[in-house]
Amino acid sequence: MDVKNNTLGVTRCGSAEFIWGRRTYVMGIVNVAPDSFSGDGLVDVEAAIDQGRRFVSEGADIIDVGGESTRPDFTPVSVDEELRRVLPVIERLAGELLVTVSIDTYKSSVAREAVAAGARMINDVWGLKHDPEIARVAADNAVPLVITQNQRDSTFNHLLPELIDDLQRSMQVAQEAGVDWNNIIIDPGIGFGKTVEQNLEIVRRLAELKSLERPILLGTSRKSFIGLVLDLPVDERLEGTAASVAIGIANGADIVRVHDVGPMLRVVKMSDAIVRGR
């Protein structure tokens, strides 16, 4: 797959412009949830804002703010609690920094308030299946929408073909709601109900998702499949994450979502130099 000849166009987030194919963009994760799987959950607004500032200083293009854990055994939180966690962080980061702020939520009411507070991207880990109205929020506000394939409610016999079909259905829902084609970003959903072998296969065959003709976001950072392959706890998965990021970029990833922005930006730059050319 020749990612240098990418023809995916341009996606705009407020004043930011993402020219797909030119380089790989880095999304830094700010979890305002105490039970985050990665161990980086923050409960203090100032700590979350400081982390966002640090990520921007390290080169992040997007800051993804989430207020509810997505770990397999997570405890759902109410809309009011999720808003209480994320809105102050989004307002401050969007007001202080020249960076695209994303809201990581599957609830349309949270997405709507977050966009009003300054978020310029919506990241839906349920791919419009939990609350399809979230697509309308993206359409009404002309902001990009990340559609993630979540396998927690399904079982695939033929992984990549069925995963691609599932993403196509979600993309159709988004378009029918009025989301602009250039504002759709796809995510194969590493984790989210998939086995270790399936996660490895997705990274290995990521280029097949290019058939959908939309930019690909890859989120492997610190995830359990890395820990199971390497037999390491969540705080020792940096090298495993780096390997998956590099191979993901070689296979066509356009955005990587990471916890360790500084080290992963160096991986991205080196991978881009090899894959896309300096």
Give CA–CA dist 99/119, Å, rounded: 10
Task: Reply yes or no on whether 257 is catalytic.
Answer: yes
Q: Find out whether 187 and 149 touch, Cβ atoms under 8 Å.
A: yes
Give CA–CA dist 166/71, Å, rounded: 21
- Of the candidates 85, 257, 266, 276, the residue annotated as catalytic is 257
Give CA–CA dist 129/150, Å, rounded: 9
The span from the first CA to the last CA of the chain, in angstroms, equals 18
3-state secondary structure of 12: strand
Task: Reply yes or no on whether 223 is catalytic.
Answer: yes
- Of the candidates 85, 92, 120, 223, the residue annotated as catalytic is 223
Q: Find out whether 44 and 80 touch, Cβ atoms under 8 Å.
A: no
Rg (CA), the chain: 17
Q: Find out whether 257 and 245 touch, Cβ atoms under 8 Å.
A: no
Residues known to be catalytic: 223, 257
